[in-house]
Structure 1
Amino acid sequence: MNDKPTLFTNARLIDPASGRDERGALLVRDGLIADIGPQVGVVADAEVIDCKSQVLAPGLIDMRAFIGEPGAAHRETLKSAGEAAAAGGVTTIVSMPDTSPVLDDPAIVDFVTRRARDTSIVHIRPAAALTKGLKGQEMAEIGLLREAGAIAFTDGLRSVTNAQVMRRALTYARDFDALIVHHVEDPDLVGTGVMNEGEFATRLGMPGIPREAETVMLERDIRLVRLTGGRYHAAMISCADSVDIIRDAKVRGLPVTCGVSINNLALNENDIGDYRTFLKLSPPLRHEDDRQAMIEAVADGTIDVVVSDHNPQDVETKRLPFAEAANGAVGLETLLSAALRLVQAGQVSLPNLLRSMTTRPAEILGLPGGRLERGAPADLIMFDPDAPYVLDKRDLRSLSKNTPFDEARLEGQVTVTMVAGRIVFDRRPN
């Protein structure tokens, strides 16, 4: 924490929680927002940062990121993930339990929480396993894991195919007001599929994954939510039919929310091109019509959150034939820039986009951040939404470089990232 206050002046203040979008200043003192508005008094001993009309907004909250540590630190450590997040404007990461050992024991959750606190420059909040060993057969100790610091419960990249196990988990989680986050993909319908089922997959000679692999699982889960009343979050949806299912569930007043990967918003199946394995993902990149449906759902609020789905993979798992390569792409550093494509195209307003990456994740997870108001945590980002650059994967701070946006022309760069009142990333010229 800085010893003296920090005053951001000449900023475009965007607070999705209150609808604020105005020119003004913001004062940070003791790790909290002390004052905000068009008129903020000069503080004699404050460090002054002239934003030069750049956007000042709450730090991004990424609800889905895979980190190798413990067990696969060569792919990503808590420290490197924090550095990558800070460069991308992400001030809070929800880490997935797909580690070795799996985060299905309170002692391991406690270890990761402490390790992240000691080594990461951003907040890292672990999600614990929903079932023991991520095997989908026996429910994990939700109550004890929650006491140890787990912020949500999920089997990460795996789906719980046993409906009775999912029913019990939702029922048990309801009593603790715990959040169940589920990867909606039926593994039997996925089968040997490696990309979206359709004409393009046929032309590439690749086995496809039907949209029904997602919608069948999602439909089942919604019915179980209606049966149990448990809080449920579909980790990532990717097709238009899923949007309709979520929208209907919300109309009926069910405690259901959902997310979408930035990859499914910014890319479609055609981007795979000549078997680009960095674009082999789960869920797969879909048809352009599905991508447009995802964008519309973010704009109207049906989709609650946008996530990076950060999943670092090393060279050995990606430099393989497409069908054999591992799923996943890094995304912490490119989340904001890739999402700003939607703003630049006039498809989503900047406040609405930021809401899906700040306020809504905070509300769903019960976190104090995601807003600009007096007394809120000083987790902030300053960024220029129009700053152009070409991404070079060698410049990424992640240990793994498997980005789908390598050599892409992007706009929007983070200038300053502040966590708990301390500047952890600074791109301002000297």
Structure 2
Amino acid sequence: MTNALYRNARLIDPEAQTETLGWLRIENGVIAEIGDGDRAGGVDCGGLCLAPGIVDLGVKVGEPGERHKESFRTAGAAAAAGGVTTIVTRPDTTTPIDTPEVLDFVRRRGQEAAAVRFLPMAALTKARAGREMTEIGFLLDAGAVAFTDGDHVVADTKVFSRCMRYARSVGALIVAHPQDPGLSEGAAVTSGKFASLRGLPAVSPTAEKMGLERDLALVQMTGARYHADQISTASALPALARAKAEGLDVTAGVSIHHLTLNELDVADYRTFFKIKPPLRAETDRIAMIDAVRDGLIDVICSMHTPQDEESKRLPFEAAASGAVGLETLLPAALRLYHAEQLTLPVLFRAMALNPARRLGLPGGRLRVGAPADLVLFDPDVPFVLDRARLRSKSKNTPFDGQRMQGRVETTLVGGDIVYRRGAS
């Protein structure tokens, strides 16, 4: 563990919601002291921002089964370069993570190969088929931090309620994808004039509202701990607000793509913009930003979903959904900061503090005794994103060729430097 002093930094504190010029000292891998003003010695940060490392809830890694799309080594390198110090992985691999044996393999692989902290989620139902509950208790003991079938909605309400009741009895967190599976099946874009003009199969935003309302009704019935992986439509927000007002143990996330892009970005069938749920109207995007600012939506995530060239270079309807996001999450989020829509403390509340709190982790905060998982970044430096230079094996980013602003200089995990810009 490295001992170090970082001074002359803009300290971004998501707990206190403050931004102050100060210094931070690391000892034995944890934050030992924090102070305002300047202090002699140590690393001069030159007025750059020093914030808690990002905790990215919902990252897909291709192991086991799709290592050609993303490995733990490449995902870890991309995360470190993006200021992500903890990746929370999804179980939607070719071999689903639905048994303690598979989970143990994945956990060991991640800890050996990833440069950052790694926490696995496990499948909620066997083979993610929505018919039979996994051994939640054994998987919890084996290291699973949450349970999800990813974008496979558990359509059988009785099965889902049984899963919720058992999860409630052992204190497990369920992460769900709120969509009505019947309405959303086969959809490629959001319904509306744009979808009609392009002749693409579409889904109404109502599918998300219906899916969320069903899930929240079951939460109310069972008392389960519940996190909606992605909310993307304004019509779903009232149900979320009611659930929170009633005191249900409910949180929600939104992907960075739904905060910074809209349905028109698909343009002439650009498949790098095909994600799930599909990009929404500009009014929905603005509503998501407002919900993050107000704290109604708790978490911003990358929903990192690597896809190879062959699965993306197909007609839009047939192309695979998903975009990589580990390395672009922070610069894309800084678009909202530069547009004066969200402050840096609010962004890091949603990207670091809240996901850490939801999972019961000690990180995500600038506090004495917290792990020294930190990101030092310049929020203002401009650059043009070149997808070929991304560290992920797959290069399916919608931001290719776009002007971005803000870049990571150094990433620390437990006080150790895992990324420094310009270092080989």
Does the TM-score normalized on the shorter chain lie above 0.5? Answer: yes
More off after superposition, 311-320 vs 177-186: 177-186
Q: Which residue of the other structure, out of 227, 240, 246, is the alignment partner of 1:246?
A: 240
Alignment of 1:364-379 (within 5 A): 364-379=358-373
Aligned-partner Cα distance in 2 for 1:428–1:400? 22
Q: Quote the offset at 1:406 in angstroms.
A: 0.3
Match in the other structure for 2:283: 289
Alignment of 1:258-337 (within 5 A): 258-337=252-331
SS in 1 for 2:25: strand
Aligned-partner Cα distance in 1 for 2:258–2:162? 31
Per-residue deviation, residues 244-282 of structure 1 (Å, max 9, x unmatched)? 111111111111110001100000000001100001110
Kindly indicate whether residue 339 of structure 2 is the aligned counterpart of residue 341 of structure 1.
no
TM-score (ref. length: structure 2): 0.98
SS in 1 for 2:317: helix
- Partner amino acid for 1:104? D
Alignment of 1:171-210 (within 5 A): 171-210=165-204
Match in the other structure for 1:100: 94
Kindly indicate whether residue 162 of structure 2 is the aligned counterpart of residue 164 of structure 1.
no
Maintained 8 Å contact 1:17/1:370: no
- Partner amino acid for 2:34? I
Match in the other structure for 2:149: 155
Q: Which consecutive unaligned segments of at least 5 residues does structure 1 have?
A: none
Aligned-partner Cα distance in 1 for 2:212–2:155? 11
Aligned-partner Cα distance in 2 for 1:275–1:204? 8
Match in the other structure for 1:226: 220
Match in the other structure for 2:12: 14
Q: Which residue of the other structure, out of 337, 350, 362, is the alignment partner of 1:356?
A: 350
Per-residue deviation, residues 202-247 of structure 1 (Å, max 9, x unmatched)? 0111111111221111100000000011000010011001111111
Alignment of 1:117-156 (within 5 A): 117-156=111-150
Q: Quote the offset at 1:19 in angstroms.
A: 3.0
- Partner amino acid for 2:55? I
Q: Quote the offset at 1:99 in angstroms.
A: 1.4
More off after superposition, 91-100 vs 394-403: 91-100
More off after superposition, 161-170 vs 391-400: 161-170
Aligned-partner Cα distance in 2 for 1:429–1:98? 33
Q: Quote the offset at 1:40 in angstroms.
A: 7.6
Counting aligned pairs with the same residue, the percent is: 53
Aligned-partner Cα distance in 1 for 2:56–2:157? 28
Aligned-partner Cα distance in 2 for 1:320–1:38? 54
Maintained 8 Å contact 2:7/2:39: no
Aligned-partner Cα distance in 2 for 1:408–1:41? 39
Q: Which residue of the other structure, out of 395, 406, 413, is the alignment partner of 1:401?
A: 395
What RMSD in Å do the two structures reach over aligned CA positions?
1.3
Match in the other structure for 1:389: 383
More off after superposition, 31-40 vs 345-354: 31-40
Kindly indicate whether residue 52 of structure 2 is the aligned counterpart of residue 58 of structure 1.
yes
Aligned-partner Cα distance in 1 for 2:44–2:204? 51
Match in the other structure for 2:32: 34
Aligned-partner Cα distance in 2 for 1:322–1:414? 33
Match in the other structure for 1:426: 420
Aligned-partner Cα distance in 2 for 1:294–1:18? 23
Q: Which residue of the other structure, out of 60, 63, 80, is the alignment partner of 2:74?
A: 80
- Partner amino acid for 1:142? I
Aligned-partner Cα distance in 1 for 2:32–2:170? 33
Maintained 8 Å contact 2:179/2:207: yes
Q: Quote the offset at 1:192 in angstroms.
A: 2.6
Aligned-partner Cα distance in 1 for 2:308–2:152? 20
Aligned-partner Cα distance in 1 for 2:410–2:300? 21
More off after superposition, 354-363 vs 12-21: 12-21
Aligned-partner Cα distance in 2 for 1:236–1:354? 18
Per-residue deviation, residues 96-128 of structure 1 (Å, max 9, x unmatched)? 001132111112111211111111100110000
Maintained 8 Å contact 1:26/1:40: no
TM-score (ref. length: structure 1): 0.96
SS in 2 for 1:82: helix
Aligned-partner Cα distance in 2 for 1:208–1:426? 43
Aligned-partner Cα distance in 2 for 1:24–1:343? 21
- Partner amino acid for 2:350? S
SS in 2 for 1:232: strand
Q: Which runs of 4+ in 1 moved over 3 A?
A: 39-43
Aligned-partner Cα distance in 1 for 2:24–2:422? 18
Q: Which consecutive unaligned segments of at least 5 residues does structure 2 have?
A: none
Aligned-partner Cα distance in 2 for 1:191–1:399? 29
- Partner amino acid for 1:70? P
Per-residue deviation, residues 333-358 of structure 1 (Å, max 9, x unmatched)? 00011011111111111111110001
Q: Which residue of the other structure, out of 226, 231, 239, is the alignment partner of 1:237?
A: 231
Per-residue deviation, residues 375-399 of structure 1 (Å, max 9, x unmatched)? 1101000011111111000110000
Q: Quote the offset at 1:330 in angstroms.
A: 0.3
